[in-house]
């Protein structure tokens, strides 16, 4: 039996000084039960916890470690910069290099502003959209996550097209009133909201591939129809590519689907594991952003040199070696095929969603295409699956509603071990 004694001790200690013992809620294991694992190091495809247990990592820091942990080129870049100082609070050439590199890879991107997190990027993009259009309302989708800014912590009201209501204490009803909820992959729900709020909507924001209710790709025509609708009504289309940017393709979801957004938010991969975010888009829109325009946004550590060099090293590797995307997609496909065989042999209901190197497992008999269908999964069964895999050295997201992120360091042996473990822990499941 795997020992987690040091993690248990650390968690007990952490709860005395940190709310819930963690600095981000999903880490608390509330969705799966048990004690969160405390890690001390990682290399390549593997994590090592405080009890010296080794795990194959299928989270990769929620996406950014696409090249694997402690990639030598990234580590060397950070080491060299650390000797020159961590931060200046002033412009550096590194910011220009990363901006130019991102613009060279992402279709239609003309300008970009660096920030410190995905939350900050999405919050700033919404403010810019409102300032540019002169409108106040936005449309978001149930089950999409854009960080913890007030505008995004909204849940559905009494019906699919009603005004949203706050999903967290501290979010005012006034803020909620400007956020309208639509159903993901349901274009008609969006069209109805737009028609009921003519000339009031500044932007539609969405994850082009959802990752916070499991991996849920867009249905055919969904993104294309949103683009047309926005053009018809003078609404800005915002792609939240914090997860998908530079993970699904060098140019992210825009390249993969051939649909261009007006504003795009980034994070995770662009910093190679460092805290970072960015939002970019058309030059005519960004002319309204301070200091050139009246829409204010600022950040003391924005463009932090350590994050910039880590991002430059990571994205340069991806740009110069595009076969990485084919490799991790093939690896993820092998995982999918293996798990399907195991689950099929067990004869219990399941769904596996995958796109590129994003994948998720849902224990339900119905296709998972939106938040409502994702919620129909068997959560207790996922808990059993999660802990069974964890006890045999496979680290999955500690929630049934999160995508897995596969890294380039995962080997065929790692895949085979994962499938063998899944087969072993489900052999006695009863239905």
- Among 176-180, 224-228, 279-283, 319-323, the minimum mean pLDDT is found in 176-180
Question: What pLDDT is attached to residue 45?
Answer: 98
Share of the chain above pLDDT 90, in %: 90
Going by pLDDT thresholds of 50, 70 and 90, the confidence category of residue 159 is very low
Dmax (CA) of the chain: 64
CB count in 10 Å sphere of residue 401:
22
Question: What pLDDT is attached to residue 1?
Answer: 64
Q: pLDDT by residue (tens digit) across 41-84? A: 999 999 999 999 999 999 999 999 999 999 999 999 999 999 99
Contact 329, 406 (CB under 8 A): no
Judged on CB neighbours under 10 Å (0-12, 13-18, 19+), 112 is: buried
Q: pLDDT by residue (tens digit) across 221-278? A: 999 999 999 999 999 999 999 999 999 999 999 999 999 999 999 999 999 999 999 9
DSSP per-residue string spanning 117-142 = SHHHHHHHHHHHHHHHH---EEEEET
179-182 and 137-141: which strand pairing? parallel
**Active-site annotation, residues:** 145, 240, 268
Q: Which domains does the chain have, with CATH numbers?
A: 5-70+323-426 (3.90.1150.10), 72-320 (3.40.640.10)
């Amino acid at each position: 039996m795997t020992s987690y004694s040091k993690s248990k001790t650390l968690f007990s200690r952490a709860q005395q000084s940190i709310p819930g013992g963690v600095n981000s809620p999903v880490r608390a294991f509330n969705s799966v039960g048990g004690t969160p694992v405390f890690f001390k190091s990682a290399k390549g495809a593997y994590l090592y916890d405080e009890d010296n247990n080794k795990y194959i990592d299928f989270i990769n820091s929620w996406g950014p470690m696409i090249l694997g942990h402690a990639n030598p080129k990234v580590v060397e870049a950070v080491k060299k910069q650390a000797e020159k100082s961590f931060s200046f609070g002033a412009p550096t050439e590194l910011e220009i290099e990363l901006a130019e590199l991102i613009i060279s890879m992402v279709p239609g991107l003309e300008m970009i502003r660096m920030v410190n997190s995905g939350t900050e990027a999405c919050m700033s993009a919404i403010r810019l959209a409102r300032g540019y259009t002169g409108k106040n309302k936005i449309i978001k989708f149930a089950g999409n996550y854009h960080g913890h800014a007030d505008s995004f912590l909204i849940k559905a009201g009494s019906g699919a097209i009603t005004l949203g209501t706050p999903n967290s204490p501290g979010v005012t009803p006034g803020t909620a009133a400007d956020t309208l909820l639509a159903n993901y992959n349901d274009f008609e729900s969006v069209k109805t909201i737009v028609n009921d709020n003519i000339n009031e909507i500044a932007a539609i924001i969405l994850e082009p591939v959802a990752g916070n209710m499991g991996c849920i790709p867009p249905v055919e025509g969904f993104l294309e129809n949103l683009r047309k609708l926005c053009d018809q009504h003078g609404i800005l289309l915002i792609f939240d590519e914090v997860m998908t940017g530079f993970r699904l393709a060098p140019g992210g979801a825009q390249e993969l689907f051939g649909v261009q957004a007006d504003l795009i938010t980034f994070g995770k991969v662009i910093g190679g594991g460092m805290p970072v975010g960015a939002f970019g888009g058309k030059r005519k829109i960004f002319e309204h952003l301070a200091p050139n325009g009246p829409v204010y946004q600022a950040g003391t550590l924005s463009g932090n040199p350590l994050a910039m060099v880590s991002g430059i090293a990571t994205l340069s590797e991806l740009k110069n070696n595009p076969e990485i995307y084919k490799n991790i997609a093939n690896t993820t496909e092998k995982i999918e095929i293996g798990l399907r065989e195991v689950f099929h042999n067990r004869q219990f209901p399941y769904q596996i969603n995958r796109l590129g190197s994003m994948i998720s497992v849902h224990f339900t008999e119905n296709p998972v295409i939106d938040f409502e269908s994702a919620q129909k999964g068997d959560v207790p069964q996922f808990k059993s699956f999660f802990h069974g895999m964890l006890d045999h050295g496979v680290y999955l997201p500690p929630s049934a509603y999160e995508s897995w992120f596969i890294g380039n360091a995962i080997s065929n042996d790692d895949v085979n071990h994962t499938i063998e473990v899944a087969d072993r822990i489900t052999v006695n499941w009863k239905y």
